[in-house]
Amino acid sequence: MFARVLTFRFRPDEALVEQVERIHRENTPILQEQKGFVKLYQMLDKTTGKGVQIHVWDSEADLLAYLNGPVAQGLQARIQAVVKDFAIAPPEAEHYEVVGEA
């Protein structure tokens, strides 16, 4: 399995929490339809505004196919439109091979 880890930096704001929760509810069903998608974790520190999102995929090929496809580009555009007023830095993305789980 492979994971894509996104780190976000937002200015803390209660409205941000509502927006992140809404985005998660709206986008999760779309991700679940993608080939190789396994799981999505979304975390947010309401005090600092730091957020982490972890997408888990069956394979690196599935992850890359998603990232290079129109669904990912559409979701990213939708997310950017919602959080642009809260972001203080562009998201950082990293990819990892999952080598263990419990």
Q: With beta carbons less than 8 A apart as the criterion, state whether 47 and 98 touch.
A: no
Average pLDDT over residues 20-42: 92
Predicted local distance difference test score (pLDDT) of residue 15: 81
Give the residue with greater pLDDT, 101 vs 35: 35
| Tokens (6 digits) for 69 | 């496809």
Helices (H), the chain: 14-32, 60-67, 70-83
Rounded alpha-carbon distances, angstroms, from residue 42 to 6, 25, 61: 9, 11, 22
Left, alpha or beta for 47 (phi > 0: left; psi -120 to 50: alpha)?
Answer: alpha
Nearest to 22 by CA among 88, 72, 82: 82
Question: Is residue 56's pLDDT more than 90?
Answer: yes
Which pTM was predicted? 0.87
| Per-chain mean pLDDT for the chain | 91
